[in-house]
Amino acid sequence: MFNFISLTNILKLITLLKRLVFIPYLFYIIIAFKIIVNHKIFIYLANIRIVFISILYSKNKK
């Protein structure tokens, strides 16, 4: 029983260390992903705005 507990604690420590090493990489990946997604959304919104403005402009011309 004691050996089992110590083994689980060692495994927890290893996973914690792995997590601590992995977190910065994960953080950078998340930031990069958010930037890419936000950039795509921004381009998409900009395109919608351009289309909307062009429609309004063409309606006003007529």
- Tell whether 9 is covered by a domain: no
Residue 37 domain-assigned (yes or no): yes
Q: What pLDDT score was predicted for residue 45?
A: 81
DSSP 62: -
Structural domain count, the chain? 1
DSSP 30: H
Q: Please give the pLDDT value at position 21.
A: 74
Q: For residue 2, what pLDDT is reported? A: 58
Pair of tokens at residue 60: 């006003």
- pLDDT score recorded for residue 11: 82
pLDDT, averaged per 10 consecutive residues of the chain (62 residues), comes to 70 79 76 81 82 84 69
The model carries a pTM of: 0.36
Please indicate, yes or no, if residue 44 is contained in any of the structural domains.
Answer: yes
Tokens linked to 25: 């990489």
Supply the range of the domain harboring residue 57: 24-62
The answer to the question of residue 32 being in a domain is yes
